[in-house]
Amino acid sequence: MEATEIRKLAALEDTHWWYRERRALLARALRRLAAAGHSPGRALDVGAAGGGNTRVLRAHGWRPVALEYSVEGAGVARERGLDVIRADARHLPLPSASLGLVTAFDILEHFDEDHLAAAEIRRTLRPGGVALIAVPADMALWSAHDVAVGHVRRYDRASLRAVVEKAGLVVDELWSWNVLLRPVAAWRRRKSTGSDLDDLNPVVNLGLRTIVTAERYLPVRSLPGVSLMLRAHRPTAD
């Protein structure tokens, strides 16, 4: 992602409906892990950009490091008081089996060799450690936005599951997100000429946030959405 997009994302992520709800979903996943007996430990937020998700990890008791390739993103995360590593997600500079949790939101789609990034997630997780992964869904939604933010592909359920399982992880859950607003996203992407990371009118932002928040309570996770989300773990027998 270009430096200008990183700075734009960092400026928007505290208020923009998309990023706020994504942080809420991450917080919910962390609460579920805690309820299942996963004690907070070392965590890595791959592709952290400005560190919005890293801060969620820290707030839930994890000891996270933000990993960011770009100078701009790493700089923003450091400005926010986070521990930061600059590195390529295909070559994580961390010991094997050293992490209890890895988050990788909107990362795999940036690599031709997405299997290498997935394999590094598996390598650095301890046996029983958890990966939380999000990717853009469905090549039918491909647009100038994807080009502007450096995407190589969008995924369907089969292709996402395949790359994660090829890396040696066990998929526990795979679901769609941003289902209700998919028609709006599809319409906007057809008209798109670049990134759709915009500072929205507060009323519009609130309306979109209200709609996407409603998905928490509706049985829509099996329907086509704008994103796919996945929870997986490294087998304990490794």
Q: From CA 166, how far away is CA 115, in angstroms rounded? A: 7
Q: Is the pLDDT of residue 100 over 90?
A: yes
User: Smallest Cα–Cα separation from 193: which of 226, 145, 151?
Assistant: 145
- Residue 142 resides in a domain: yes
Q: From CA 162, how far away is CA 184, in angstroms rounded? A: 29
Predicted local confidence at residue 197, as pLDDT: 65
- Residue 212 resides in a domain: yes
CB count in 10 Å sphere of residue 173:
12
- Residue 180 resides in a domain: yes
Question: Which whole number is the average pLDDT over 101-127?
Answer: 97
Predicted local confidence at residue 190, as pLDDT: 75
Question: Which whole number is the average pLDDT over 142-169?
Answer: 94
- Residue 36 resides in a domain: yes
- Residue 74 resides in a domain: yes
Q: Is the pLDDT of residue 6 over 70?
A: no
- Residue 238 resides in a domain: no
Predicted local confidence at residue 39, as pLDDT: 93
Q: What percent of the chain shows pLDDT beyond 70?
A: 92
3-state secondary structure of 54: helix
Q: From CA 76, how far away is CA 80, in angstroms rounded? A: 6
Q: Is the pLDDT of residue 7 over 70?
A: no
Predicted local confidence at residue 158, as pLDDT: 98
Write out the residue range of the structural domain in which residue 150 sits. Answer: 3-233
Q: Is the pLDDT of residue 193 over 80?
A: no
Cα separations (Å) of 54 from 23, 83, 105? 10, 9, 11
What is the rounded average pLDDT for all residues in the chain?
91
Q: From CA 131, how far away is CA 117, in angstroms rounded? A: 12
Question: Which whole number is the average pLDDT over 182-191?
Answer: 83
Here the CATH number for the domain that contains residue 140 is 3.40.50.150
- Which 8-state DSSP code applies to residue 155? B
Predicted local confidence at residue 76, as pLDDT: 83
Structure tokens at 166: 């090829």
If one counts the domains in the chain, the total is 1
Q: Is the pLDDT of residue 208 over 90?
A: yes
Question: Which whole number is the average pLDDT over 149-153?
Answer: 91
Predicted local confidence at residue 3, as pLDDT: 57
- Residue 175 resides in a domain: yes
Whether pTM > 0.85 for this model: the answer is yes
Q: How far is CA 238 from the centre of its chain?
A: 25
